[in-house]
Structure 1
Amino acid sequence: MTSSIFVSSTFVDLEQHRKLVCNAITKLEVNSKAMEFFGALPNTPKEECLRIVRASDVFVGIIGMRYGYTDPATGKSMTQLEYEEAQTVRLPTLMYLIDEESHPVLPKHVEMGAGAEKLIAFKATLKNAHVVNTFSSPDDLVAKVTQEVVRLLGAMATKPLAQVLPQLAANATRVHHLTQPRFEFLKGKVIGVYKQHVPDAVLREALGFVLAGDNMAATFVLTRGTPMGMDEAVDGLMAIEKIFTELFKKDPSN
């Protein structure tokens, strides 16, 4: 069965980005559900947008410098509503934020006023909830989306009976959220497991999934957030599990 990917973003400022991403997804023989004529326009029924999100298998969010059209009933942009719907139905989510330092942006495509404040808050929410990636150009975005979608499809192909994407979605709400002191403690115990540097945000999310009993999700986070391959990520996670087993035997309170 072909997977379907919902591509969400504002429209007028990211039209070229959306077109290239959808073309790349199509070349992977995956069905893209980019809402060119629905999700980003104010005359589209909100319910139809959210229905299509619910019918998708993966959510790809692309966030630039515009908050976008605001739904009068909620005060939220359609892009944010689509994202929140994807989280409600627990879709595996890939989020991409514009690199504000290097990506050229026309002045007319920069949100001002109340919308700018909402955009800042929305981006902060995304950074808190996900290992986000940034893009500096349409081509850079396409390369990153393609690589990460291929990783997802590869995971599905290696364990077709495990239904990896639904598993990731189901467990996303069960990830063990580490407090900063506990993360620092565990980070100290697993340091050296991986030869290459693993950013704190990536390691924290991966350890949370390990503690929740979902190594597949942890593998996905590591291979998405670092250049390491799947074999290296899995080997490291096996070592981390042994460390945790010994650690919790000695001190269950940790």
Structure 2
Amino acid sequence: MEKRYQVFISSTFTDLQDERAKVQQAIMEMDCIPAGMEVFPAIDEEQFEFIKKVIDDCDYYILIIGGRYGSLSDAGVSYTEMEYEYAVNKGLKVMAFLHNDPNSLPVKKTEQVTGSKKKLAAFREKVASGRLVKAWSVANELPGLVALSLSKTIKTYPTIGWIRGDSAADPALYKELSSLRKENQELKEAAAKRSADVYAVDNIAGLDEVVTIKGFGGWYESESAVSWTASLSWAQLFKIASPYIPNSESEQTLSGYIADGAQIFSNKASTKYDSNYLANESKQLLRIQFKALGLIKLSSMNKDIHWSLTPKGEAEMTNLLVVRKAELTNVT
């Protein structure tokens, strides 16, 4: 049963809007649900009560600290620090990302009042005590840092998460659906045959032609993701991806399998990353090319893109992966 995790993003707002947007995108690409105070950029005591209810519904908590301490409550504590304290008291796993040199930020993104500067320094020290934090310098570093930290935290500290209400249906309904699928299978296969070669594109690259793809990898203890490139034929890429497609994996999950396999095929497997994924442009390129070649069909499930093999794709997968007589002597 597919599960998603909700992640609260906490930070000051006006000075970190670009950073928040990039972190939200990274969280969504990991099939998680971002939550935060975008609906209340100017927060007060009453709205903070609502924010606490949002935090109650979250599985993990991300804190981004730049050069501002933030708006103060009546108690003289910033709402960002209040959110942090509330999340810690609730027992949420906290991932903190602190700017490594707040003094280098533009004036409009830093505190100018001595009292707020001291409170920011104290808050940073509190957050860094007793937990590992990641340092960042520019907004573009945050997506990779967040993806690595969140992936490790989910794996190490899995929580309840969220599932769609209709995913927990009565088993009898599943049985009925299975029967309907079986009855409709022949119609689906016939439709797939008719649609497999509908893309009559001039001069389309064949499976033997080579393409260069880009990806990112990193280690859990590292503070940044490392970009890499690999040049493979379309056939090699389809050989890597096709065995995983029948498992109904999401495109984001397939991205990790393809990234790992691409490094092996391109003799770059000596570098083994804890987290590995394709760049968005490469992921989209593979999706479009394989579809244009009539090898895959696309569908949407819970807002995720899923691939499935066409009859042509199944035949090509078999052709690429089957063991032939000449290869039997090498099979152990």
Tell me the TM-score range normalised by the shorter chain.
0.5 to 0.7
1:47 is matched with 49
- Cα 1:224–1:4 change in 2 (3 A) is same
1:225 is matched with 221
1:65 is matched with 67
Identity across the alignment (%) = 25
Q: If the length of structure 2 is used for normalisation, what is the TM-score? A: 0.46
2:8 is matched with 6
Two-structure CA RMSD over aligned residues (Å): 2.3
Which contiguous aligned blocks of 4+ residues in structure 1 show a shift greater than 6 angstroms?
Answer: 227-230
User: 1:113 Cα deviation (Å)?
Assistant: 2.0
Structure 2: distance between partners of 1:114 and 1:37: 28
- Cα 1:42–1:34 change in 2 (3 A) is closer
Structure 2: distance between partners of 1:137 and 1:15: 13
Letter in 1 for 2:105: V
User: 1:104 Cα deviation (Å)?
Assistant: 4.9
Equivalent residues in 2 for 1:234-245, closer than 5 Å:
none
Deviation per CA, 1:144-172: give whole Å up to 9, x if none.
0011112234x26xxxxxxx3349xxxxx
Structure 1: distance between partners of 2:87 and 2:13: 19
Could you tell me which runs of 5 or more consecutive residues in structure 1 were left unpaired when the two chains were aligned. 157-163, 168-222, 231-254
Deviation per CA, 1:5-26: give whole Å up to 9, x if none.
0000001111000001001111
1:89 equivalent in alignment to 2:82: no
Structure 2: distance between partners of 1:9 and 1:90: 19
User: 1:129 Cα deviation (Å)?
Assistant: 2.6
Which one has a larger percent strand, Structure 1 or Structure 2? 2
2:145 is matched with 144
User: 1:229 Cα deviation (Å)?
Assistant: 6.9
1:132 equivalent in alignment to 2:123: no
Deviation per CA, 1:225-254: give whole Å up to 9, x if none.
358977xxxxxxxxxxxxxxxxxxxxxxxx
Deviation per CA, 1:193-224: give whole Å up to 9, x if none.
xxxxxxxxxxxxxxxxxxxxxxxxxxxxxx74
Letter in 2 for 1:11: F
2:22 is matched with 20
2:175 is matched with none
Structure 2: distance between partners of 1:225 and 1:127: 16
Q: Would you say how many aligned residue pairs link Structure 1 and Structure 2?
A: 164
Q: If the length of structure 1 is used for normalisation, what is the TM-score? A: 0.59
- Cα 1:52–1:10 change in 2 (3 A) is same
